[in-house]
Amino acid sequence: MSQSYHVITYGCQMNVHDSEVLAGLLENMGYRRAGEPEQADLILLNTCCVRETAEERILGRLGELQRLKRENPDLILVVAGCLGQEAGSVERILRRAAQVDIVMGTHNLHRLPDLVREVLTGRNGNGAGTLVEIWDEPAGEQWRQGLPIMRERGVRAWVTIMYGCDNYCAYCIVPYVRGRERSREPADIVAEVDDLAKRGYREVVLLGQNVNSYGLDLEPGPGPGRRFASLLRELDKTQGLARIRYTTSHPRNFGDDIIEAVADCGKVCENFHLPVQSGSSRVLGLMNRHYTREDYLALVEGIRRRVPGAAFSTDVIVGFPGETDKDFEDTLELVREVRFDSAFTFAYSPRVGTPAARAPDQVAPEVKQDRLRRLIETQNEISLEINRAQIGREVEVLVEGEAEKAPGMAAGRDRVNKLVVLSPPEGTTVTELVGREVVVRVEKATTWSLEGRADSP
């Protein structure tokens, strides 16, 4: 009987996609997916360490999973991802969960099958203990290219275009756990997207910690697509594909060539996720973000001038070391001025090993929480106003499936990535609409989503 596996994923889209690769490697070994951890012979946690809360949640879950291991000593427990890669984390992991079989990082995904085999062999009396394999340097492209990917079924597929980040923002652990920027060859990306469109995926989301700098590390070479803007133009030619999105951008090098490409390419959607982090130029300097409040506002204005219907979302950190009441007011002011459709909002969380964690003037937790509350209130008001202004208008929705909380209703996203719940046209089922773009007249709005009616398929 084939063995089964269960993958638990934490963190960003990059991790979601890495989990698809890790699942693909296990499927290639003959493992099959188990719906629940309790049913699995192998449980893999693909971890995140971007904030303290994330690490605590993972270590807590590992503690719980130890119970399953006591009940079934043959269970294999694997810790992969950024927490595995983070310096000094292995001790913290094994202190909380000594029965973990494998700890691996972000640079050696392709090694999973060999490590699992080593554990299984070790069980035959060679004395296994915990296998720890963390690579300091990322595996070369030859290791990542062509790895099996167990993709989620659906209309959207994740496509990594680059790994790592060279920006070293003062609060961020990512460059230390994901390594320097490495771009994939454009021809490999174009081939992958072409194959996905042929297999019926209608939307691709291009992934990178900082997609704007795609290609900057590539050797000069033949063919188009060796910069982000030209890659978008290449992918826009893909037959059968309806939409292209990308995440995450950095305001620092979001050049005119990218804005022009978004404006010119019909498939590239008009939502811009541009993490601002703070509205205070002084704090942006302390964060090592390499742009000012004025630069950011000018970029947004430039995009709005060139791309009709452009919508913005962002990331904001409050309570960064040294942030004053005035700095925070600058952040609130910027949020009101830009009017983001949505924002991911965080209270600063010190990460060991980052410059900001060593900064003297840490902000008190209650001050952070109060600023976070005020920021969320401000942003929610704006999100609701923007969504309410859509009532009576038509939006184009790529249908993904049945609405989670409304049986018989369909759900999908409009061109600016807003969730839309819709009632199918008379005589049409939700299944018939999946993968199709339909025009929806908006009738209702909440802070997070729109609701409406599709007149014709």
- The site for ligand SF4 (CB under 6 A) is made up of 165, 167-169, 172, 174-175, 209-210, 250
Give every CB contact of residue 416 below 8 A, 6+ residues apart in sequence: 269, 270, 271, 309, 310, 311, 341
* Phi and psi angles of residue 108, each rounded to the nearest 5 degrees, phi first: -135, 45
Pick between residue 119 and residue 165 the one whose CB is nearest to ligand SF4: 165
Give the orientation angle of helix 256-264 with respect to helix 293-306, to 10 degrees. 30
Pick between residue 201 and residue 346 the one whose CB is nearest to ligand SF4: 346
Q: How far apart are CB 371 and ligand SF4 at their closest, in Å?
A: 19
Give every CB contact of residue 7 below 8 A, 6+ residues apart in sequence: 19, 22, 23, 43, 44, 46
Q: How far apart are CB 199 and ligand SF4 at their closest, in Å?
A: 30
Pick between residue 316 and residue 440 the one whose CB is nearest to ligand SF4: 316
User: Are β-strands 437-445 and 449-454 bridged in parallel, bridged antiparallel, or unpaired?
Assistant: antiparallel
Q: How far apart are CB 128 and ligand SF4 at their closest, in Å?
A: 35
Pick between residue 174 and residue 189 the one whose CB is nearest to ligand SF4: 174
Q: How far apart are CB 398 and ligand SF4 at their closest, in Å?
A: 28
C-alpha 395/C-alpha 450 separation (Å) is: 10
Q: How far apart are CB 225 and ligand SF4 at their closest, in Å?
A: 22
Q: How far apart are CB 25 and ligand SF4 at their closest, in Å?
A: 25
C-alpha 264/C-alpha 179 separation (Å) is: 33
Residue in the block written with tokens 């790994």:
163
Pick between residue 45 and residue 172 the one whose CB is nearest to ligand SF4: 172
Helix (H) / strand (E) element for 306: namely helix 293-306
Pick between residue 250 and residue 415 the one whose CB is nearest to ligand SF4: 250
Q: How far apart are CB 211 and ligand SF4 at their closest, in Å?
A: 11
* Phi and psi angles of residue 259, each rounded to the nearest 5 degrees, phi first: -60, -45
Pick between residue 171 and residue 340 the one whose CB is nearest to ligand SF4: 171
Smallest CA-to-CA distance from 13 within 148, 153, 204 is with 204
